[in-house]
């Protein structure tokens, strides 16, 4: 970002980015994040499959943006990459061997189907957050009649982040459920209407949001904590500049993501248990096994393993979440300024064209008037000559 524009406040209505520009920035950030983070999860899943670390029929696939329930069966065309043979001696060895023997693109196995939902969910989440934060900030400063620099109290990003997560999860939850049903019926994306019909017939319209509460139970506190800390750290590290540098955004996103991931680990542990149970029921039709409620899973883990069990996997979760948050938010911050400047540049060119066209019209009008006067003068002179 250029130093000339560091004093521009993009929260100011004069320079504020539009929802479309926010969408373009979040879409770009989502693609970059998924491309950089997915190989880590692919390697983790391959190592777990090799060690037979899970006895369940489903696994969670994370592309850096959201978790997806996937089946482990060889018949599923989207999980054939999981069945590939290979003996790995660790994470680095797995990276090298997969790249050499299966091709570098194998590190992004299974990514395409998940992006169909992950990118729209990310766009909705970031656009709603940005627009709601700006609206609350404007309302707060109008009510408090603040002069000069506008204030943003900590509760604004907290409330905006939590609300944005509720809205994006509510929009995407039915789509994720449809995707899971399509896996169970071996349907492709051209048969999405049939999957929706089957789901409504078996569960009703309310069933489209079945399983949303475990997601909200984890993601809403995470978003509230993350955005509150991110905006605070960004403000502290940014000095007098209004536009955060890529490094400041990355650092603030990394620290905020780490804190939010650590605090919400118990919710993640509970959600993972429920998601696997729910996926097995939906994909394999194991309706005899009831999906336990959030409180039941919470109590069972606490009884068996104590408080330690609720924080199982904290380090791997932080290692996965923190870089994802850092990459996503720094890409988003850079992208929204980039698209805003791009739009302003074209707008400026349009203004120049309009000004030039107006001047051309003025010159043409003046020329026409002058010609008209000259012709009248000539006509008058000719008439006088005839009389003489």
pLDDT at residue number 163: 97
pLDDT at residue number 345: 73
Instruction: Flag whether pLDDT at 128 surpasses 90.
Output: yes
For the domain covering 10-347, report its CATH number.
1.50.40
DSSP-derived 3-state class of residue 16: coil
Phi and psi of 386, rounded to 5°?
-65, -40
Phi and psi of 68, rounded to 5°?
-130, 140
Instruction: Flag whether pLDDT at 124 surpasses 80.
Output: yes
C-alpha–C-alpha distance, residues 267 and 213, integer Å: 11
Q: E strands of 31-130, at which residues?
A: 58-62, 67-71
DSSP string, 120-167: HHHHHHHHHHHHHHHHHHHHHHHHTT--SSPP--THHHHHHHHHHHHH
C-alpha–C-alpha distance, residues 82 and 193, integer Å: 28
How many Cβ atoms sit within 10 Å of the Cβ of residue 124? 20
DSSP-derived 3-state class of residue 58: strand
C-alpha–C-alpha distance, residues 132 and 126, integer Å: 10
Phi and psi of 219, rounded to 5°?
-80, -30
> pLDDT per residue over 13-52, tens digit each?
887 888 998 999 999 999 999 998 888 888 877 776 665 5
- Whether the CB-CB separation of 17 and 10 falls below 8 Å is answered with yes
Q: Which of 75-79, 126-130, 183-187, 327-331 has the lowest mean pLDDT?
A: 183-187
Phi and psi of 149, rounded to 5°?
-70, 135
Domains of the chain: which residue ranges?
10-347
pLDDT at residue number 233: 95
Mean pLDDT, the chain, as a whole number?
78
The pTM of the full predicted model, rounded to 2 decimals, is 0.78
C-alpha–C-alpha distance, residues 323 and 38, integer Å: 11
Of 228, 135, 217, nearest to 173 (Cα)? 217
Question: Running DSSP on this structure, what letter comes out for residue 62?
Answer: E
C-alpha–C-alpha distance, residues 63 and 35, integer Å: 8
pLDDT band at 374 (very low <50, low <70, confident <90, very high): low
> pLDDT per residue over 348-366, tens digit each?
555 555 555 656 566 556 6
pLDDT at residue number 382: 47
> pLDDT per residue over 260-315, tens digit each?
999 999 988 888 777 777 666 655 555 555 667 788 888 888 898 888 888 888 88
CA angle in degrees (0–180, nearest 5) for 339-340-343: 85
| DSSP β-bridge partners for residue 62 | 67
Summary count for the chain: helices (H), strands (E): 10, 2
How many Cβ atoms sit within 10 Å of the Cβ of residue 357? 10
- Whether the CB-CB separation of 178 and 199 falls below 8 Å is answered with yes
CA–CA distance from 87 to each of 73, 84, 100 (Å)?
Answer: 20, 10, 13
CA–CA distance from 278 to each of 271, 287, 329, 332 (Å)?
Answer: 10, 10, 31, 33
> pLDDT per residue over 213-259, tens digit each?
888 988 999 999 999 999 999 999 987 677 888 999 999 999 999 99
- The residue whose two tokens read 């509720």 is 166
C-alpha–C-alpha distance, residues 196 and 213, integer Å: 21
- The residue whose two tokens read 């996926």 is 279
pLDDT at residue number 387: 39
Of 255, 245, 259, nearest to 330 (Cα)? 245
pLDDT at residue number 356: 54
Reading the block at residue 301, the tokens are: 């883990």
């Amino acid at each position: 970002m250029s130093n000339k524009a560091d004093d521009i406040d993009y929260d100011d209505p004069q320079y504020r980015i539009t929802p479309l520009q926010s969408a373009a920035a979040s879409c770009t950030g989502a693609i970059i994040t998924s491309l950089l983070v997915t190989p880590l999860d692919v390697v983790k899943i391959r190592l777990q499959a090799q060690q037979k670390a899970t006895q369940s029929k489903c696994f969670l696939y994370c592309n850096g943006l959201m978790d997806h329930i996937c089946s482990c069966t060889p018949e599923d065309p989207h999980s054939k990459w999981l069945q590939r043979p290979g003996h790995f001696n660790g994470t680095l060895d797995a990276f090298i061997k997969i790249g050499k023997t299966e091709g570098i693109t194998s590190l992004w196995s299974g990514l395409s189907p998940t992006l169909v939902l992950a990118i729209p969910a990310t766009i909705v989440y970031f656009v709603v957050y940005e627009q709601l934060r700006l609206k609350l900030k404007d309302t707060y400063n109008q009510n408090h009649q603040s002069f000069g620099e506008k204030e943003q109290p900590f509760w604004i990003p907290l409330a905006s982040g939590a609300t944005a997560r509720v809205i994006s999860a509510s929009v995407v939850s039915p789509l994720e459920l449809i995707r899971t049903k399509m896996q169970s019926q071996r349907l492709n994306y051209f048969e999405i209407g049939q999957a929706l019909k089957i789901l409504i017939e078996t569960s009703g319209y309310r069933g489209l949001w079945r399983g949303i509460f475990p997601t909200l139970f984890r993601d809403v506190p995470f978003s509230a904590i993350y955005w509150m800390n991110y905006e605070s750290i960004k403000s502290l590290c940014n000095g007098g500049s209004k536009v955060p540098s890529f490094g400041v955004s990355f650092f603030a996103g990394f620290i905020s993501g780490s804190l939010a991931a650590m605090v919400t680990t118990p919710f993640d542990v509970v959600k993972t248990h429920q998601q696997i149970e729910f996926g097995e029921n939906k994909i394999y039709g194991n309706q005899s096994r009831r999906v336990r409620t959030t409180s039941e899973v919470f109590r069972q883990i606490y009884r068996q393993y104590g408080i330690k069990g609720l924080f199982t996997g904290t380090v791997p979760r932080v290692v996965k979440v923190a870089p994802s948050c850092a990459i996503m938010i720094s890409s988003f911050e850079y992208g929204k300024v980039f698209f805003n400047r791009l739009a302003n540049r074209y707008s400026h060119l349009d203004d120049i064209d309009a000004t030039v066209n107006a001047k051309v019209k003025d010159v043409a009008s003046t020329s026409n008037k002058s010609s008209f006067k000259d012709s009248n003068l000539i006509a008058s002179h000719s008439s006088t000559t005839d009389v003489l």
